[in-house]
Amino acid sequence: MKRFLLLRAVTAVAVVIALSGLCFALLDLAPGSPAAEILEARSGGRPPAPADVARLERSMGLNDPLPVRYGRWVADAARGDFGTSYGSGRPVSEILADTAPWTLLLTVVAVLFSVVGAVGFGLAAALTRRAWLRRSIETFLFALGGMPGFVTSLLLLWVFAAWLRWLPSGGLSRPGEPVTLSVLVPHLVLPALALAFGHHFGTYARLVQTGVGRLRDAPHVENARARGLSRYTVTARHFVRLGMVPFTARLGVGVGTLVAGAYATEMIFSWPGVGRQAIYAAREQDYAVLTAVVLVTGVIVVLANFVGDLAVAWLDPRVRLTGGPDHAHR
């Protein structure tokens, strides 16, 4: 188990380093100059003089070679200093402190909705003996899986906010209203549901259904029934636990798509998270904010994959012995 954890931890660190380097290099190749954008914003939209742009680029260190600038950025980021926003002039760390917790909250709640819903629908379809119920669940999951995430968001807004008026349409609270827990919860429900149901929810539920269904009548399960074990013991220990392995492995990887989908969800529901901040930064060519956002998003995705690997190893001990789910089920 220690070797398994060490291998996964080293891989996670390597992925974060590679991601930050790739992001830094790609943003360096993007057209335009951050110095020009800053000077244009300061002058009220007037194009800056080339000499002023060159002078500011030298003072910002933008003329240094790419490896030098990347090394300097990594050294500062290791101390929690991600630089200063080109647009607002605020420290990027302050911007992340204001937005990252809201994105993390939205993502965690969406993952909980995905897990509870997918496991519920998947187990119902896998364990039921009623063909009509299984076909109804499969039809619902097929329709939901073919619906783009933004369509799911707009449909939920129309039904629950515009038509039924059960839930607010966006934001953290109404204008001028303090953000308390009782106010935040109803504002969180719709974006979390949209994020959960709009990104691979049908795939998750089908993985639960197929994973559990193929083991329900397996020889070792029939043997456990023949030995007189209780129905709960047979169900929970002998085929549901192992049947959840494909879903758990896919969920860890799917969190990356979920975090990426949070960008659009935050714009639709006016959620003040990292995704909306990243879109604004891209419009303004605020590369300092963009680089930090990509790094934070990458860390969240890597941590989610790491936790998913741990969950798979807990569900299936063969993973710990062979080094990964692919080898364990080969």
For 235-292, what is each residue's pLDDT tens digit? Answer: 766 677 777 878 887 887 777 778 777 888 888 898 998 888 888 888 777 888 888 8
Joined tokens for residue 79: 């101390």
Q: With contact defined as beta carbons under 8 Å apart, do 35 and 53 qualify?
A: yes
Residues 6+ apart with CB under 8 A from 204: 114, 115, 118, 122, 247, 250, 251, 254
Tens-digit pLDDT profile for residues 42-80: 776 677 888 888 888 788 777 888 888 888 888 888 888
Residue 317: the pLDDT is 64
Mean pLDDT (the chain) is 81
CATH 1.10.3720.10 fits 101-328, yes or no: yes
Q: What percent of the chain has pLDDT over 90?
A: 12
Counting residues of the chain whose pLDDT is more than 70, the rounded percentage is 91
Q: What is the pTM of this model?
A: 0.79
**Euclidean distance between CA atoms 201 and 306, whole angstroms:** 21
Q: Between 101 and 143, name the one with better pLDDT.
A: 101
pLDDT class of 328 with cuts at 50, 70, 90: very low
The CA-atom distances, in angstroms, between 314 and each of 208, 307, 310 are: 17, 11, 6
Question: In this predicted model, what pLDDT tens digit does every residue of 316-325 receive, in sequence order?
Answer: 666 554 555 5
